Structure 1
Amino acid sequence: MAIQLIFSDIDGTLLQSDHQISRRTAGSVHACSQRGIPFILVSARMPGGILPLQKVLNISDPVVCYGGALILSGEEANGSRRILFQRPLRRDAVESLRHLLQSIFPDICLTLYSFNRWIVSDPSDSWVIQEQQIAGTPFETYSSILENKLPPIHKILCMGEPEQITRLQELLAEKQLLANSYKSKPTYLEITDISVNKSSAVAFICHYLGVAREQTIAFGDNYNDIDMLQAVGTGIAMANAPIQVQKAADQTTMSNDQDGISHALETLGICPSSL
């Protein structure tokens, strides 16, 4: 069955280790677009961390942000994006987590994401400074937002020392807050609503675009990509993925530093190998 839809994680998958998209990969993705095959970027990033990459790829398809908590339409004629789906955290879950950190983990830095906004409590916190330098994301402070007008929160990012992040994740599981949490790295714990995951986003996009699951493929490299790799017709892990992720996928391609996406697309005959 011909492939009609492609999903891809970003960090460690689409991007090389230097956080750039190779010319070959960009060419392969654009070739898919020219053949009418949407290439859907699926990431824990906020919209502002995804849309610029679409410009590099020369595509304008829908995007999945915050691991599926926010899905935006493709770029419209006026350059705007519509919200196709959103599932923010419950407000009581947000408040419970903030109270937990204040009382038990005061050294962990908690930040909130809402649509394309990054909300922090202390701009001088070393974790905030570090993340701002990495992502280049402008921030707002809690003090500039009235508590009774706290916007929908699509993701919470907790940053701290590895042992504290591990303890926090374990405690969240014990307390059974209505939230999902995973480590994007040893010092980062990312939290979304309990119903949010990449596989649900895949199902939503497939229905929205009218494409059968069997006509889809997905690329990923990390543990939070496993459900996405198993939700599509063909799940493809990157060679740089942990062995557990590779075993969960249908096949493994080259690494992100070896144009793994292009290699797979060419091998499957989805785009020409002359790129």
Structure 2
Amino acid sequence: MKYRLIALDLDGTLLNSQLQIRNETIDALSRARAQGVQAMIVTGRHHVAAYAYWKQLGLELPAICCNGAYMYDYRAHQPLANDPLTRDEARGLLKLVRKHSIDTMVYDKDFMAYETINKHLRAMLDWSATLPEAVRPRVEHAQSYEQLLENAEIIWKFTSSCDDRAALSAYVSEIEQSLGLSCVWSGHNRLDIGHAGNSKGRRLAGWIAEQGIAREEVIAFGDEQNDMEMLRLAGMGVAMGNSGGEIQACADWTTGGNDSNGIADALQRFVLTPA
């Protein structure tokens, strides 16, 4: 099979434990693109937090961001197809954040907002501080999420984290029952909440249909629950070795972990042809 598109999750997949792209991966992607294969970032991140990697790889395609809430065109500096939370959905969700006392960040149109700093946010801020200012994501303190929601033009998603998985599960249950929103795990203690129906797989399916790319011509890489639909969609779904059994079970192939040359090895096996 000749693949036309490589779809890449970021955290736990394209990025190693130090949030860097391995040199071997960069080289393999460069060789694949030289052969006419396109590459696309498909991430749970806000576009401002994915930009540094898009720029590092010299990509051209828009990125799918916030678990499919929208596509972002970095060259035009604007979102493309999108389905953000409605204001009423965001208001209702914030009420449940307050009720359950769950640490949460709100993803506004062009920045990520926080009220308090937890360990997840601290790690993000530490990573951000290592980046050149030109590619550093915009992260802002909000005095009040209530005020933020009333003034916001767009809210892409909420991301909530808690070390108590049972507490997060109770929170998810009430969100799904009372609001009907999309809830996906993007880490063992991290949850993303967006408009119903949003997913990486759904947004990717819509885009490839517009581009005339068959699903069989897509190879996708992922490691978490929010990647599963994308892995099933792709003609070749590749789970990272650091992913859980549920993710590996829905993939066509399991490669090495994100701290190894897993992506490079899979690209060599399935995509790259002899020079």
Q: What is the distance in 1 between the residues matched to 2:19 and 2:273?
A: 23
Q: Which residue does 1:53 correspond to in 2? A: 53
Q: What is the distance in 2 between the residues matched to 1:161 and 1:268?
A: 38
Q: Which residue does 2:111 correspond to in 1? A: 117
- The AA in structure 2 aligned to 1:105 is H
- The AA in structure 2 aligned to 1:4 is R
- The AA in structure 1 aligned to 2:186 is S
8 Å Cα contact 2:237-2:251 kept in structure 1: yes
8 Å Cα contact 1:221-1:241 kept in structure 2: yes
State the secondary structure of the residue aligned to 1:85. strand
Q: What is the distance in 2 between the residues matched to 1:199 and 1:238?
A: 17
> By how many angstroms is 1:160 displaced?
3.0
- Map Cα deviations across residues 246-265 of structure 1 (whole Å, 9 max, x no partner): 11111111221221111011
8 Å Cα contact 1:14-1:261 kept in structure 2: yes
State the secondary structure of the residue aligned to 1:7. strand
- The AA in structure 1 aligned to 2:125 is Q
Which runs of structure 1 show a deviation greater than 4 angstroms over 4 or more consecutive aligned residues?
Answer: 142-147
Count of residues in correspondence between the two structures: 264
- The AA in structure 2 aligned to 1:214 is E
Cα-Cα RMSD = 2.3
Q: Which residue does 1:88 correspond to in 2? A: 84
TM-score by length of 1: 0.87
Q: Which residue does 2:94 correspond to in 1? A: 98
The 1:143–1:248 alpha-carbon spacing in structure 2 relative to 1, beyond 3 Å, is closer
- The AA in structure 2 aligned to 1:182 is V
State the secondary structure of the residue aligned to 1:113. strand
Q: What is the distance in 2 between the residues matched to 1:18 and 1:5?
A: 26
Q: What is the distance in 2 between the residues matched to 1:193 and 1:135?
A: 28
Q: Which residue does 1:220 correspond to in 2? A: 222
Q: What is the distance in 2 between the residues matched to 1:23 and 1:86?
A: 33
Which of 162, 167, 170 does residue 167 from structure 1 map onto? 170
The 1:31–1:128 alpha-carbon spacing in structure 2 relative to 1, beyond 3 Å, is closer
Q: Which runs of 5+ in 2 are unaligned?
A: 129-136
> By how many angstroms is 1:271 displaced?
5.3
Q: Which residue does 1:32 correspond to in 2? A: 32
> By how many angstroms is 1:38 displaced?
1.2
- The aligned runs of 1:192-271 (5 Å cut-off) are 192-270=194-272
